[in-house]
């Protein structure tokens, strides 16, 4: 027997080496995982199905992420880290509170035109009381709501603001504006497909933002 063979790590025939998991692009993997969870729901998604869509072995995903629960958390955290800064930048602008609020609403409506996967996921998870909803609310929704509450309080010190809770305002933005841009087949069937296509979505995002701001901020006498 070749003694050098005894020094080589052994692995099961047909399975990838453990370090093969590192060869898969993580952004690609997490992006596909998130879009699948958003489309099919947590229960409708399996690691085996994801591995087939990626063209990798089932064992590779187990080595890289462990349980499906762990992959869901990683995918959600990764996707939100990508998408959140565009909107939240308005909170930190060196501007008057009302200007920051206007920019925040405008940015959120524009954000909705290209983040339908997040809207889909929150629509699904928001209707059931699960550990996944707890994760979304604790890590993303509540921190945003606290900052929005603070901004609205600052605006109220300067001018009237209609009495709408931040929970209701966020629902109008995510489940209202977000759904409008997310449910493209629905808009097409209603004859409004051109409003949400790539050429016109930004224009209609501005119109929706103006509509919401007019309702939120009454004219100052």
CA-wise closest residue to 38 among 66, 75, 70: 75
Rounded Cα–Cα distance for residues 196 and 188 (Å): 9
What is the rounded distance in angstroms from the CA atom of residue 69 to the CA atom of residue 25? 20
Whether residue 19 is predicted with pLDDT greater than 50 in this model: the reply is no
Q: Which residue has the tokens 């692009």?
A: 25
**pLDDT band at 116; cut points 50, 70, 90:** very high
Q: Is the pLDDT of residue 5 over 60?
A: no
Of residues 59 and 176, more confidently modeled:
176
Whole-angstrom distance, CA of residue 75 vs CA of residue 27 = 9
**Confidence bin at 23 (pLDDT 50/70/90):** low
Q: Rounded to whole angstroms, what are the CA distances from 115 to 7, 44, 102, 181, 201?
A: 50, 21, 20, 9, 12
In 3-state terms, what secondary structure has residue 67?
coil
* 120, pLDDT greater than 50: yes
Residue 165, pLDDT score: 93
Q: How would residue 70 be classed by pLDDT, with cut points 50, 70 and 90?
A: very high
What mean pLDDT comes out for the span 199-211? 96
At 40, the pLDDT band (50, 70, 90 cuts) reads: very high
Q: Dump pLDDT digits (tens) for 84-112.
A: 999 999 999 999 999 999 999 999 999 99
pLDDT at 48 over 70: yes
Q: For position 62, what pLDDT does the model report?
A: 78
Q: What is the DSSP string of 81-148?
A: HHHHHHHHGGGG-SS-HHHHHHHHHHHHHHHHTS-HHHHHHHHHHTTS-SHHHHHHIIIIIHHHHHHH
What was the pLDDT predicted at 58?
Answer: 73
């Amino acid at each position: 027997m070749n003694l050098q063979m005894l020094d080589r790590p052994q692995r099961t025939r047909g399975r990838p080496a453990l370090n093969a998991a590192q060869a898969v692009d993580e952004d690609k993997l997490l992006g596909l995982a998130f879009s699948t969870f958003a489309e099919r729901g947590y229960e409708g998604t399996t690691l085996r199905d994801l591995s087939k869509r990626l063209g990798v072995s089932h064992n590779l995903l187990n080595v890289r992420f462990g349980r499906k629960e762990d992959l869901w958390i990683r995918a959600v955290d990764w996707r939100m880290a990508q998408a959140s800064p565009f909107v939240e930048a308005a909170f930190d602008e060196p501007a008057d509170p009302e200007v920051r609020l206007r920019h925040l609403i405008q940015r959120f409506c524009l954000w909705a035109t290209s983040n339908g996967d997040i809207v889909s996921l929150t629509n699904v998870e928001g209707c059931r009381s699960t550990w996944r909803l707890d994760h979304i609310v604790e890590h993303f929704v509540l921190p945003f709501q606290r900052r929005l509450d603070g901004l609205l309080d600052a605006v109220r010190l300067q001018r009237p603001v209609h009495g709408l809770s931040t929970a209701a305002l966020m629902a109008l933005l995510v489940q209202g504006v977000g759904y409008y841009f997310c449910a493209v087949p629905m808009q097409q069937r209603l004859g409004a497909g051109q409003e949400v296509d790539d050429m016109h979505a930004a224009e209609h995002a501005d119109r929706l933002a103006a509509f919401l701001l007019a309702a939120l901020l009454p004219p100052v006498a």
